[in-house]
Structure 1
Amino acid sequence: MRAIILSGAGRYADPWHPYAETSARLAEIVAEAGFDVEVREDVDAALAALDDDVTLLVVNAGDPDRSSEDGSPLPADAPASAVDDGPLEAALERGISILAVHAAASSLRDVDAFDRAIGGRWEWDLSWHPPLGEAHVHLVGNHAVREGLDDFTLEDERYSSLQLHDVIEPIAEHEEDGIRHPLVWAREIGPSRLVYDALGHDTRSYDSPGHRALLANALDWLRRVPAPTAATVAGA
Structure 2
Amino acid sequence: MHDAIILSGTGRYADPWHPFADTSEALADLVRDAGFTVRIADDPDAALASLDDAARLIVVNAGDPLGPNANAGAGADGDRPVPPEASVIAAGDAALDAAIDRGIGILAVHAAASSLRDHTTFGRALGGRWLRDVSWHPPIGEAHVHVVGNHAIVEGLDDFTVFDERYTGLRLLDVVEPIAEHTEGGVRHPLVWAREFGRSRLVYDALGHDTRSYESAGHRELLARALDWLSRVPAATAGDA
TM-score greater than 0.5 by the shorter chain = yes
**1:23-69 deviations in whole A, cap 9, x for unaligned?**
00000000001000110011111000001110000000000011228
Q: CA deviation at 1:78?
A: 3.4
SS in 2 for 1:54: coil
Q: How does the TM-score come out when normalised to structure 1?
A: 0.93
Q: Which residue is equivalent to 1:219? A: 227
Contact 1:119 1:168 in 2 (8 A): yes
Contact 1:63 1:108 in 2 (8 A): yes
Please give the alpha-carbon distance, in whole angstroms, between the structure 2 residues aligned to 1:219 and 1:145.
Answer: 9
In the alignment, structure 1 residue 195 sits paired with structure 2 residue 216: no
Q: Which residue is equivalent to 1:171? A: 179
Please give the alpha-carbon distance, in whole angstroms, between the structure 2 residues aligned to 1:76 and 1:172.
Answer: 39
Tell me the matched-pair count: 228
Q: Which residue is equivalent to 1:14? A: 15
Please give the alpha-carbon distance, in whole angstroms, between the structure 2 residues aligned to 1:16 and 1:202.
Answer: 9
Q: Which residue is equivalent to 2:137? A: 129
Contact 1:140 1:172 in 2 (8 A): yes
**Consecutive unaligned residues in structure 1, runs of 5 or more:** none
Q: How does 1:64-103 map to 2 (within 5 A)?
A: 64-68=65-69, 77-81=80-84, 82=86, 83=89, 84=91, 85-103=93-111
In the alignment, structure 1 residue 59 sits paired with structure 2 residue 60: yes
Please give the alpha-carbon distance, in whole angstroms, between the structure 1 residues aligned to 2:168 and 2:82.
Answer: 31
Please report the RMSD computed on the Cα atoms of aligned residues, expressed in angstroms: 1.8
Q: CA deviation at 1:80?
A: 3.9
Q: How does the TM-score come out when normalised to structure 2?
A: 0.91
Letter in 2 for 1:54: A
Letter in 1 for 2:10: A
**1:97-142 deviations in whole A, cap 9, x for unaligned?**
0000000000001101100000000001100000000110000000
Q: Among all aligned residue pairs of Structure 1 and Structure 2, give the percentage whose two residues are the same amino acid.
A: 67
Contact 1:14 1:69 in 2 (8 A): no
Q: CA deviation at 1:154?
A: 1.1
SS in 1 for 2:58: strand
